[in-house]
Every structure is written in structure tokens, then in C-alpha cells.
């Protein structure tokens, strides 16, 4: 499943459903798809997402990176905060313009 985030303040952002739901839950949302955040609630959702990513980053830093099965070298996984970057940008733009954010 793919989830597309939309606002009139920024380009649409599409991401894999499992990652999108994790990010929505970090924002304090239920993770329901489709749904929306009203413009007046976007700044709070953005702040919750940032705090959640900070906490998640601290947890991820404690784990050893997985080994590549072929070369046995350590692989650096793509961390959640990297995957969240486009959504953070979208939320910042929506907050600045006072726009709603929707996803489906």
C-alpha cells in the first residue's frame, strides 16, 4: 500500500504505507488512511513528529547495524528520520501557510 500526503502548500508526498502509518502515529494520529489534519492542528502534529523521531533515533542508535548476507559487512539502514524528511518539509510548509494536510 502507498500513502500520499497532500496540502495546497507543498507538492504531494508518497511513501510506503507501513512507514506512513508509523509516522502518523508519532504525530499523535490514529494511523487511519484516508484522513486529514486541520490547519490549526498541523503545528502540534509537526512538533509531536519531531519529538517522536528524536526518541526513535536514540533507540535506533543503540542497535548494531545489520550485516549484508553476501559480504558480511555492516549495512547502514535507512533510518526513520531520513524517511520522514519529505513529510516534515510538507508539514512545515502547511503550518507556515495555514493549510490542511490530507492523506489517502
pLDDT tens column, 14-51: 999 999 999 999 999 999 999 999 999 999 999 999 99
For residue 85, what are the CA distances in angstroms to 20, 53, 54?
Answer: 12, 10, 13
User: What does the mean pLDDT of the chain come to?
Assistant: 89
Residue 57: all three cell numbers together: 533515533
What is the tally of structural domains in the chain? Answer: 1
pLDDT at 63 over 90: no
Please report whether residue 24 resides in a domain.
yes
The answer to the question of residue 11 being in a domain is yes
Per-residue pLDDT, 70: 73
Asked whether residue 67 is assigned to any structural domain, the reply reads no
Domain span at residue 39 reads 2-62+75-103
Domain assignment present for 96 = yes
Task: Find cell 512507514 and name the residue.
Answer: 19
The answer on pLDDT for 58 being more than 60 is no
Per-residue confidence (pLDDT) for residue 73, from 0 to 100 = 66
More confident residue, 27 or 66: 27
- The answer as to whether 84 is a domain residue is yes
Amino acid at each position: 500500500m502507498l500513502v500520499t500526503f497532500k496540502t495546497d502548500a507543498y507538492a504531494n508526498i508518497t511513501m510506503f504505507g507501513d512507514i506512513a502509518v508509523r509516522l502518523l502515529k508519532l504525530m499523535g494520529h490514529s494511523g487511519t488512511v484516508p484522513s486529514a489534519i486541520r490547519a490549526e492542528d498541523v503545528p502540534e502534529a509537526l512538533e509531536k513528529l519531531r519529538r517522536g523521531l528524536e526518541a526513535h533515533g536514540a533507540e535506533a542508535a543503540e542497535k548494531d547495524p545489520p550485516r549484508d548476507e553476501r559480504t558480511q559487512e555492516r549495512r547502514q539502514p535507512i533510518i526513520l528520520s531520513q524517511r520522514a524528511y519529505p513529510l516534515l518539509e510538507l508539514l512545515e510548509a502547511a503550518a507556515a501557510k495555514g493549510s490542511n494536510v490530507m492523506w489517502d
